[in-house]
Structure 1
């Protein structure tokens, strides 16, 4: 190996190191945003009785703030995409996998709290303005989307318990119907990824936990008493 080859290797290593640091800085900003939004969402577990219907499970102000934060993530995502070299998404994606899964969790749970529906991957791409012009450098892999959705279900299982504690005996039934539909959809997938398949197994336990809450409410006739 001559000196020119050594110099070329050295420059290549330096360029790669500089790129990694640039990406880390921009991913750190994404992590900061997702932590803030996750902290905001945690308020759903302490909403006072009387504000627990799905429209007011969090104040309109908080939901509006979350929508604004999600829109702001468009710039952060674009900043990451601007640094990734063309067709090198898979080389660098591990740097932002976790915060992107957290972002999926925040977006999908926020959508459920607003109107009891699931935000699709297509809708999430539109929300974050992940357009065709950057998809060779940045996009949300299906696996990361599904991981975020499963985390959302984990949180709904916890919410089904806490809404009862807060005096809302109707919400668990709504959550149960939603999660059962999601579980049916997941059951139709051929999950070959080990990590994703293990996470899918957790859905069964979440669904059982929610069903137990609904059963306890039913035998105690709490939902009926609330209506009368």
Structure 2
């Protein structure tokens, strides 16, 4: 009898690989469900800055830092598990959630949270990509090995989300009587906008999101201009 033209073991091997992939995806989904819950909780706390005077930020940010701690712990689980498999095979599953987690950390730090002991409550501090990686305890922009990491694109997209939130805060801070905050935000996001202009961006999603920054800048500039017309800008801000 002629030997079979196809080795029966071929489909057995494929079946094993498919089952392994399904198992990996299920585990990733579970970890990401947990991370999304922690990020959503932290974002909810941060949304209260729009109705909270700056004098009460310390109490609010201590709660935010508790939420961020859970984000960091879950990101550590994700890093440990995902690093066992090819990065670019599964990274699309977590990149949006990681961007959101990054934005909560950057915003919390800018508002005065997560500050070093030498500079407690310093508003306006921008975390770098390396600072974010250190906060989460994971590598950034990896080139020498195939493992979980935070990419430059994820950092920049998280930063753009912070710009959107701060442009809203500029308006609400005036409502709360904190005109100096609006002026500080205006200067900060204009500096960021200028910084983004020097980047040679190839990522289409990132390029579209960067285009939106100019609208945030314009919105905050209008707020500051109105304050200046009314002579309501604090002298130290000028």
- With the length of structure 1 as denominator, give the TM-score of the two structures: 0.89
Q: How far off its partner does 1:221 sit?
A: 1.5
Q: Does 1:106 align with 2:104?
A: yes
User: Which residue, out of 40, 46, 52, partners 2:45?
Assistant: 40
Whether the 8 Å contact between 1:70 and 1:128 is mirrored in structure 2 is: no
Distance in 1 (alpha carbons) for counterparts of 2:226 and 2:165: 20
User: Which residue, out of 162, 169, 178, partners 2:179?
Assistant: 169
Q: C-alpha offsets along residues 9-67 of structure 1, whole Å, 9 cap, x if unaligned?
A: 111101110110001100111111100000000001111xxx33xxx3x5312212222
Q: Does 1:120 align with 2:118?
A: no
Whether the 8 Å contact between 1:71 and 1:127 is mirrored in structure 2 is: no
Equivalent position of 1:68 in the other structure: 66
- Number of matched pairs: 218
Distance in 2 (alpha carbons) for counterparts of 1:30 and 1:117: 25
Equivalent position of 2:3 in the other structure: none
Q: How far off its partner does 1:71 sit?
A: 2.6
Query: 1:108-187 maps to which residues of 2 (within 5 A)?
Result: 108-114=106-112, 115=122, 116-131=124-139, 136-187=146-197
Structure 1 unaligned residues grouped into runs of 5+:
none
User: Which residue, out of 96, 103, 106, partners 2:94?
Assistant: 96
The structure with the largest helix share of the pair is 1
User: Which residue, out of 201, 208, 211, partners 1:198?
Assistant: 208
Q: 1:82 to 1:224 in 2, by over 3 A?
A: closer
Instruction: Describe the SS at the equivalent of 1:206.
Output: helix
Distance in 2 (alpha carbons) for counterparts of 1:23 and 1:117: 33
Distance in 1 (alpha carbons) for counterparts of 2:102 and 2:169: 18
Q: C-alpha offsets along residues 184-208 of structure 1, whole Å, 9 cap, x if unaligned?
A: 1111110111110111011111001
- With the length of structure 2 as denominator, give the TM-score of the two structures: 0.86
Distance in 2 (alpha carbons) for counterparts of 1:152 and 1:73: 17
Q: Does 1:84 align with 2:89?
A: no
Distance in 2 (alpha carbons) for counterparts of 1:121 and 1:154: 19
RMSD over aligned CA atoms reads 2.0
Distance in 2 (alpha carbons) for counterparts of 1:59 and 1:224: 20
Whether the 8 Å contact between 2:85 and 2:147 is mirrored in structure 1 is: yes
